[in-house]
């Protein structure tokens, strides 16, 4: 047993707080979380600023304290299982991380990795993860923003259920875009929303942002996507969850669909299509209220680069919006990142 700083959290808030601690990087993964009938004790790393922010968010509902925790035995990673089976040169080219979507694991492997090595990778992942299938995935392709998947271990899977912050997503794994690394971003944007808002999710996919918003708030979200399979998944997911708000799925090209919205309607617009969102900014501005928020995702090498790109579009199109905030969200490629630009209609 080891004494550690921890958060004492009511059971009903535990999953939410654990996800936030993971996102902040201050959850101790080497110690086992403790529970009793009323509270969950979550071991954390010392971080005064981040912990203070969390305590401020929850007020008296959670408190910081100390407690004794059991150690979690260190588990081997899947790459450790490949030592001696794969050359060091090839092993160094295989990523350490992979995504889990329900009962499916997805990993992006080098294109020239031999098939027998890819099979060994898949088998190793199945030994450390509770999944039915492992697929090697391609980069995102085409208007539907999907990945080509190649089965490297397990049984072929067409559909699965993925859970994010307690929200269930029905996923046609080979036909839709999904990125579990965006789970914290989905929640963060949902927490910005207020009851009564009218929200436009211009590139909704299977509803990552839309369902989080409707789960937390009595808001109405119009969710557009050009991929009919993504909309099919969203419709199924709506029926699987108890939502406070309303999600209205629309299958179509956002540039076309948005023309049917007349006037300054929306309090908030989400534009999660990093490679193309800037081409749709003018359309988004036309349907937002004065003071509305627009969350635009784009790709660049630095904050200054993406702000320059956005402000050029604003100037060239004479758009009545201003940049309020910029946040780096995910790595995209070497020296390239996905950023969120928060804009306000002025």
pLDDT at 26: 87
User: Residue 118 belongs to what H/E stretch?
Assistant: helix 115-128
pLDDT digit string (tens) for 164-182? 988 999 999 999 999 999 9
pLDDT digit string (tens) for 86-124? 999 999 999 989 999 999 999 999 999 999 999 999 999
pLDDT digit string (tens) for 124-144? 999 999 899 999 999 988 888
* Ordered domains of the chain (ranges, CATH): 2-69 (3.30.70.2580), 80-157 (3.30.300.110), 177-345 (3.40.50.150)
pLDDT at 75: 64
Asked if 271 and 277 touch (Cβ cutoff 8 Å), the reply is yes
Residues 46-75 have a mean pLDDT of: 83
pLDDT at 9 over 90: yes
pLDDT at 258 over 90: yes
pLDDT at 50: 76
pLDDT at 11 over 70: yes
Angle 313-221-208 (CA atoms, 0-180°, nearest 5)?
A: 80
Q: Is pLDDT larger for residue 74 or for residue 161? A: 161
Sheet holding 63-69, edge to edge: 34-35, 39-43, 2-10, 63-69
pLDDT band at 21 (very low <50, low <70, confident <90, very high): confident
Average pLDDT, the chain: 94
Which percentage of the chain shows pLDDT scores above 90? 81
pLDDT band at 24 (very low <50, low <70, confident <90, very high): confident
Q: For 29-64, b where at least 16 C-beta lie within 10 A, e where not — what string?
A: eebebbeeeebbbbbbeeeeebbeebeeebeeebee
pLDDT at 263: 86
pLDDT at 241: 97
pLDDT digit string (tens) for 267-325? 999 999 999 999 999 999 999 999 999 999 999 999 999 999 999 999 999 999 999 99
Both structure tokens of 328: 């780096």
pLDDT band at 60 (very low <50, low <70, confident <90, very high): confident
């Amino acid at each position: 047993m080891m004494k550690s700083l921890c958060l004492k959290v009511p059971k009903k808030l535990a999953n939410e707080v654990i996800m936030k601690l993971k996102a902040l990087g201050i959850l101790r993964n080497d110690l086992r979380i403790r529970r009793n009938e009323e509270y969950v004790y979550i071991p954390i790393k010392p971080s005064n600023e981040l912990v203070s922010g969390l305590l401020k968010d929850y007020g008296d509902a959670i408190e910081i304290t100390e407690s004794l925790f059991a150690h979690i035995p260190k588990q081997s990673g899947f790459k450790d299982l490949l030592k001696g089976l794969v050359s060091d040169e090839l092993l160094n080219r295989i990523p350490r991380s992979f995504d889990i979507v329900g009962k499916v694991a997805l990993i992006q492997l080098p294109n020239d990795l031999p098939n027998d090595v890819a099979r060994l990778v898949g088998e190793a992942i199945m030994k450390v993860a509770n999944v039915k299938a492992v697929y090697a995935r391609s980069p995102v392709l085409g208007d539907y923003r999907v990945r080509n998947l190649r089965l490297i271990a397990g049984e072929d899977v067409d559909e699965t259920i993925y859970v994010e912050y307690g929200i269930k997503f029905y996923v046609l794994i080979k036909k839709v875009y999904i990125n579990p690394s965006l789970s914290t971003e989905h929640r963060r944007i949902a927490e910005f929303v207020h009851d009564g808002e009218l929200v436009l999710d211009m590139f909704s996919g299977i509803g990552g942002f839309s369902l989080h918003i409707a789960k937390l708030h009595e808001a109405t979200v119009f969710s557009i996507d050009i991929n009919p399979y993504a909309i099919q998944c969203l419709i199924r997911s709506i029926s699987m969850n108890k939502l406070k708000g309303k999600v209205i799925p629309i299958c179509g090209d956002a540039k076309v669909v948005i023309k049917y919205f007349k006037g300054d309607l929306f309090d908030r617009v989400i534009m999660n299509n990093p490679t193309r969102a800037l081409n749709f900014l003018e359309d988004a501005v036309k349907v937002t209220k004065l003071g509305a928020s627009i969350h635009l995702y784009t790709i660049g090498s630095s904050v200054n680069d993406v702000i320059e790109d956005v402000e050029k579009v604003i100037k060239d199109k004479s758009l009545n919006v201003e940049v309020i905030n910029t946040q780096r969200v995910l790595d995209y490629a070497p020296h390239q990142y996905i950023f969120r630009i928060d804009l306000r209609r002025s």
